[in-house]
Structure 1
């Protein structure tokens, strides 16, 4: 083994107080396909020769789990992160710091998921707030970015209703406070935050607030937390200062029950003082936690990320973007910010179906039109067709979330098409809610990959269509030219246009911009 890997393994083992496990190799069977690891790698699935990924301190900026599943019914699980790679017909597990389990009891991908979920991340029988499912969500990020303020938030909410969109959950994003760790609205931008939230409630919205586990250094709160040793430390005296997208900050050490109690107390204070309904819990990526940091109890960076996930369990209205090993919980996940490009739009289906395979069933695709604000900078005009197709792609997923204001960036024609997607979702909402309730009990994914629902029919690499439950095949268009190939599995199908089609078969078509192709399995 190369010296660098040896040193890394020793460091990881020392963090976990465990014995370094030797490499394990699994022979890949003929026709067997493997999936799992990190949601942001979904477009790479199934795993191919030459692929590798190390889960230690790396969740890919999104959801992840120490789980790999195969189309032949096998799964691999470890309680701690590991590295995995494909070399020819061999799947290699290395740098494992906990025992690696290989289960071979199943026969297909659905079996592999079911067996893994029952043993390692069983459903808890609880739902997040169903308003996140039954109505569109609205996030102030793309419109306001770091200029979150009372007047513009109310203006955004009023515009939602004035343009014929239904009220739902409204999320106030980053930079509402004076600094990270101080839990009060900044007075220079929020004259009366409680009154603002009350007004939003009267308009029919529930209100969530962006938070993170970070604390700005050299502030009053920072000094208090440091004196109580509630922060992650560099050593026994000095705090760990982490680099993240907003600069450098200290971070809460949630291995310390007192730190968790302090933080949850501040969130409860925000609920009571400002009448908030829940929180968007951002950051918390395993990637941000130094492997050599000193914590109250020994923990990997991944475990620190998981503990951040536990905070949200106290609030029915919650949303996460980064998560580790919390499948089966009533936590809402959102796919990582996507750019305003067709390439990133095409990642939504493979990402959200992989999220389901890892147990993250209450997942929202990214913000409609894209949530990576850098791809909006310097644009005089957005690709209006992309916004429409993005809305269509989200419409029959577990949730749909707006941020960039469609009424601001779209023509009347294209705005009408986006509003039509909301109407389409309304027709399917009772079924989506039914699936969500069933998933809370059984853990079965709401959105399913084609291979999961129709094993052995040639869908192992299908990325352009998905199943909503076991009833509807959804095939949103994700190319500028509107062309697509829809592959129907065996059975009789009724299209959204009323045609009855027999599978297996392939439909080659050019889809009008105002259509979302859906095929109902009728036999």
Structure 2
């Protein structure tokens, strides 16, 4: 009924670093270079409004961003994509090509008296495109098409409620007039179209990116949206605060967006307004690294909020968290393929495996990524080692990547599931179809498990013509022998000639494994009950030792002034 999410380019599943603002090309290069020097995984850097010439959309500041094409070329060589902001407010200024062409084409929202509405935003007095008209969406799309020739990999539509300064409502008057197309409702006042304005802007931006490069999948992020906006854009949860309360709120917000049809969402990791403490930032990266959309962001005049900005302990936790995410990208990408083709959420509530258990509906610090249960702590001074996890009924096998830490969530795999895992690359572009593939297996009560892996080029549209490989793996335990094989495949891709590492979870984080070749039948002899008991005991001891020896992030009290901070982005 609502249409499913766009299949995102694979690089957009990596970690993304943003700030209001990295205000020069030199600062952008400094930040991205530091990620690589410190070996902290990252795929994307974002440019907020200060890259523009006087906040004029579709322009670049000639002093601070002299050559955006050259900048993006350097970023690409280092494995980074570049995303740039575009707002709907267009500066009223004769000689500014966007304003001139829009006025000539009559694209602006008008007041009740028929004159263009002018409202104050970042550039000063601004007019606003009427995206309810096809001709206006086409006009905007063509501007976007020309804009991405500068090396734009993605576009960020902000302020598109639309936001207007210096008014109580923080938006335009409801009496403003939209000359909407008949199919949308025709000529109506703004109160009729307000809720879909952001969606229509995102649609126009998405279509413009496709016009500019039909061989690449567009990536658009929108602040405002409506039912159906998932077809065109990801959504973040808005300008939040650097507080424990807002960290706690971020989990149900992402889950509710997923249940509403928008699976590609996440918060500003670390909080947008205010200064995060090291403990808060590290905990937020730990949780946020497992959200569908994973971006750190902070506002002007706050302390730096990059992963290395909070001291030694936090800088140890953040790479651990992000390497987890990169190991799980084969699984996340598969979940997005399922969301695209079937409409399923990527992140879902903990009660999904057992809807009859109403107590699970009250859990606000855990969520599912397919069959993976993520259980987190959002309480100051209380790490995962101080919590007792509440699990749905059935078999849930704990696992990690030898990276357990009090400030990272606990992970469980549901019995009966197989998930694909890859190497912890520094960016998605490092991955190769010939990389070793790992399958984590958790058997159900019948000694069986199944799972899928989706693979394609990671961008473009070859997958629509069958250019992909969808593999259904099954495992079964019979007579103390586990057999893993391929049940069926879909797509025209040939299977890569790669090694396969099968890890069977036994409980308590323990596992037994076997190496082989992907596509062949693998058989693993099970250890005896006594050996399993010993493996589990040893693993649990190692887990406790890792937690005890971990460098905990010190709890720092937040000042009362910071606790009361207000959002200033409006």
Residue deviations 1:129-172 (CA, integer Å, cap 9, x gap): 12111x2112233xxx3x62111111111112112123412211
Q: Which runs of 4+ in 1 moved over 6 A?
A: none
| Cα pair 1:388 1:513 within 8 Å, conserved | no
Question: Does the CA-based 8 Å contact 2:110-2:117 persist in structure 1?
Answer: yes
Corresponding position: 1:434 with 2:334 = yes
Structure 1 counterpart of 2:441? none
Query: Unmatched 5+ residue regions in structure 2?
Result: 164-170, 181-186, 210-217, 298-303, 416-443, 445-570
In structure 2, how many angstroms separate the alpha carbons of the residues matched to 1:394 and 1:409? Answer: 17
Q: Does 1:131 align with 2:25?
A: no
How far apart are residue 269 of structure 1 and its match?
A: 1.3
- Equivalent positions of 1:180-219 (< 5 A) are 180-219=55-94
Deviations 1:248-300 (A, max 9, x none): 5321111232322222222111211x122221111211563432111222352
Return the alpha-carbon distance in structure 2 between the equivalents of residues 428 and 166 of structure 1: 13
Aligned residue for 1:394? 288
Match of 1:447 among 301, 326, 347: 347
SS of 1:473's partner is strand
Q: 1:393 to 1:456 in 2, by over 3 A?
A: same
Displacement after TM superposition at 1:436 (Å): 0.7
Please say if residues 495 and 517 of structure 1, whose CA atoms lie closer than 8 Å, have aligned partners that are also in contact.
yes
Alpha-carbon deviation of 1:387?
0.7
Q: Confirm or deny that 1:220 pairs with 2:120.
A: no
Aligned to 1:225, what secondary structure does the other structure show?
helix
Name the residue aligned to 2:143.
266
Residue number among 33, 36, 47 corresponding to 1:172 in the alignment: 47
In the TM superposition, residue 422 of structure 1 has moved relative to its aligned partner by 0.9
Alignment partner for residue 378 of structure 2, among 473, 478, 491?
478
Distance change (3 Å), C-alpha of 1:270 and 1:350: same
Residue 214 of structure 1 and its aligned partner are, at CA, apart by: 1.0
Cα pair 1:254 1:308 within 8 Å, conserved: yes
The CA deviation at 1:345 is: 0.3
Alignment partners' CA distance in 1, 2:206 and 2:66: 31
**Whole-angstrom CA distance in 2 between matches of 1:497 and 1:220:** 58
SS at match of 1:333: strand
Q: Which residue of 2 aligns with 1:122?
A: 3
Alpha carbons 2:248, 2:378 under 8 Å: kept: yes
Name the SS of the counterpart of 1:220 in structure 2: coil
Compute the TM-score of the two structures, normalised by the length of structure 1.
Answer: 0.67
Q: Secondary structure at the match of 2:339?
A: helix
Deviation at 1:474, TM superposition (A): 0.7
8 A Cα contact 2:198 2:223, kept in partner: no
State the 1:312 CA deviation.
Answer: 3.5
User: How many angstroms does 1:330 deviate by?
Assistant: 4.7
What SS class does the counterpart of residue 233 from structure 1 fall into?
coil
Change (3 A) 1:345 1:329: same
Which residue is equivalent to 2:19?
140
- Contact 1:163 1:407 survives alignment (8 Å): no
1:346 to 2:253 alignment: no
Q: How many residues of Structure 1 are paired with residues of Structure 2 in the alignment?
A: 376
Q: Give yes or no for contact 2:55–2:122 (8 Å, CA) kept in 1.
A: no
Q: Distance in 2 between matches of 1:356 and 1:176?
A: 32
Partner SS for 1:434: helix
Deviations 1:22-67 (A, max 9, x none): xxxxxxxxxxxxxxxxxxxxxxxxxxxxxxxxxxxxxxxxxxxxxx
Q: Report the CA distance shift for 1:333/1:294 in structure 2 as closer, same or farther (over 3 A).
A: same
C-alpha RMSD over aligned residues: 2.3
Is residue 244–residue 280 contact of structure 2 (8 Å, CA) maintained in 1? yes
Tell me the distance in 2 between the aligned counterparts of 1:219 and 1:319.
30
The whole-number CA distance in structure 2 between the counterparts of 1:345 and 1:322 is 21
- CA deviation after TM superposition for structure 1 residue 421, in Å: 0.3
CA distance in 1, matches of 2:145, 2:290: 33
Describe the shift of the 1:210–1:453 C-alpha distance in structure 2 as closer, same or farther (beyond 3 A).
Answer: farther
Secondary structure of 2:269's aligned partner? coil
**Deviation of the 1:492 alpha carbon:** 1.4
TM-score with structure 2 setting the length = 0.62
Q: 1:385 and 2:266 equivalent?
A: no
Q: Which runs of 5+ in 1 are unaligned?
A: 1-118, 377-381, 499-510
Rg larger in structure: 2
What is the deviation of 1:448? 0.3
Q: Partners of 2:250 and 2:66 in 1: how far apart?
A: 39
Give 1:294's match in structure 2, choosing from 177, 186, 195. 177
The structure 1 residue matched to 2:357, chosen from 457, 465, 478, is 457
Deviation at 1:438, TM superposition (A): 0.6
Q: 1:219 to 1:449 in 2, by over 3 A?
A: farther
Query: How many angstroms does 1:494 deviate by?
Result: 1.3
Offset of residue 405 of structure 1: 4.2
Residue aligned with 1:188, SS: coil
